[in-house]
């Protein structure tokens, strides 16, 4: 007040009005112009320090039934929860197996349909109110580019993105790769890009040779699925190469819960994703923690 009183009629004082303030960019690729709710939820799934995430995928039962390693969800999953940045699962697994007190962001499996017993990917979507009830930090939708149900699954993504953005819930586009598809950079770039352009906030796909091309041609973050069970060191190599080629994290299932020591494996994966460990150091970590776990 004293300053104002002391000002003469035409004296100019700089209050900073009109001077552009440089805004700090959001830490995830392509999401700078998204709204607050989306950014808040993505910041729960991804670690803002590293810009990466370790998502634990255990949604396999919705199409595979009680697959190996997940026969007893109640025994397999709880020990892994502390080491995951986020949980990707169905509403059935969430309600039955994950204690709400775990306080982990959930990427809810939002599409479902045919199983391994028939032709995959003929899917419908859930109700967005269910995602709100489950406090989902993201919703995951299967998209089968080039497959029999391409149009239906792309439409599912479009509707999911419409509903997701209405409530600021990010959408994970999951590229379903049919047996007839070649998992190369050309196909996975197309599938990932189709997901992003149709509204996916982030994309899950598979690692491949020339993965940099897949990452560079996708305008939003990519996480990789682990795929079929590999020997532990090879699975860690897969993570290492994916992260070095620009993946923003992993959404890994079988290579964790089918491991000889799942608790050690998820920590070794974390070492690569968040601490930039080499494959040798991460594998040593896996072996050391496996011994301790016995
Ligand atoms: C696939 O449809 C599911 O969404 C899985 O969650 C996904 O494939 C990741 O699991 P995995 O690492 O076992 O491939």
Residue 29 has pLDDT above 90, yes or no: yes
CA 137 to ligand 1 center in whole angstroms:
18
Residue 4 pLDDT more than 50? no
Active site residue 12: no
pLDDT digits (tens, 9 = 90+) for 251-276: 999 999 999 999 999 999 999 999 99
Q: How far is the CA of 86 from the centre of ligand 1 (A)?
A: 14
Q: How far is the CA of 163 from the centre of ligand 1 (A)?
A: 23
More confident residue, 22 or 195: 195
pLDDT at 146: 93
Q: What's the pLDDT at 2?
A: 45
Q: Is the CB of 147 under 6 A from ligand 1?
A: no
Q: In the prediction, which pLDDT does 178 show? A: 80
Contact between residue 135 and residue 115 where contact means Cβ atoms under 8 Å apart: no
Decide: 199 in ligand 1 pocket, CB within 6 A: no
What mean pLDDT is predicted for residues 41-62? Answer: 97
Decide: 226 in ligand 1 pocket, CB within 6 A: yes
Give strand pairing partners of 142. Answer: 174
**239 CB near ligand 1 (under 6 Å):** no
**For residue 1, what pLDDT band results from cuts at 50, 70 and 90?**
very low
Q: Which residue's CA is minimally distant from atom 9 of ligand 1?
A: 225
Distances (CA, A) of 288 to 91, 264, 268: 35, 8, 10
**What average pLDDT does the segment 23-35 reach?**
93
Q: How much is the average pLDDT of 63-87?
A: 97
Complete domains list, the chain, with CATH: 34-230 (3.20.20.70)
Residues 6+ apart with CB under 8 A from 83: 54, 56, 263, 266, 267, 270
DSSP-derived pairing of the beta strands 138-143 and 171-175: parallel
Tell me which DSSP letter residue 251 carries.
E
């Amino acid at each position: 007040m004293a300053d104002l009183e002391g000002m003469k009629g035409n004296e100019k004082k700089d209050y900073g009005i009109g001077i552009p303030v440089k805004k700090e960019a959001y830490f995830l690729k392509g999401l700078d112009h998204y709204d607050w709710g989306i950014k808040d939820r993505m910041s729960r799934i991804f670690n803002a320090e590293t810009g990466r995430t370790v998502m634990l995928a255990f949604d396999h039962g919705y199409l595979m039934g009680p697959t190996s390693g997940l026969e007893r969800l109640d025994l397999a999953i709880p020990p892994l929860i502390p080491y995951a940045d986020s949980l990707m699962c169905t509403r059935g697994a969430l309600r039955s197996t994950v204690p709400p007190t775990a306080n982990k962001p959930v990427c809810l499996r939002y599409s479902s349909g045919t199983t391994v017993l028939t032709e995959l990917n003929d899917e419908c979507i859930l109700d967005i109110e269910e995602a709100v009830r489950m406090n989902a930090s993201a919703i995951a939708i299967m998209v089968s580019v080039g497959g029999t149900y391409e149009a239906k699954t792309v439409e599912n993504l479009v509707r999911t993105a419409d509903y997701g953005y209405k409530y600021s819930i990010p959408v994970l586009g999951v590229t379903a790769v049919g047996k007839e598809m070649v998992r190369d950079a050309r196909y996975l770039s197309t599938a990932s890009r189709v997901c992003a352009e149709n509204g996916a906030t982030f994309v899950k796909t598979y690692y491949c040779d020339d993965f940099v091309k897949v990452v560079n041609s996708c305008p939003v973050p990519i996480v990789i699925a682990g795929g079929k069970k590999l020997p532990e060191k090879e699975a860690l190599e897969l993570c290492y190469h994916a992260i070095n080629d620009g993946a923003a994290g992993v959404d890994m299932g079988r290579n964790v819960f089918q491991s000889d020591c799942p608790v050690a494996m998820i920590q070794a994966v974390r070492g690569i994703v968040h601490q930039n460990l080499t494959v040798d150091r991460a594998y040593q970590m896996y072996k050391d923690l496996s011994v301790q776990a016995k």
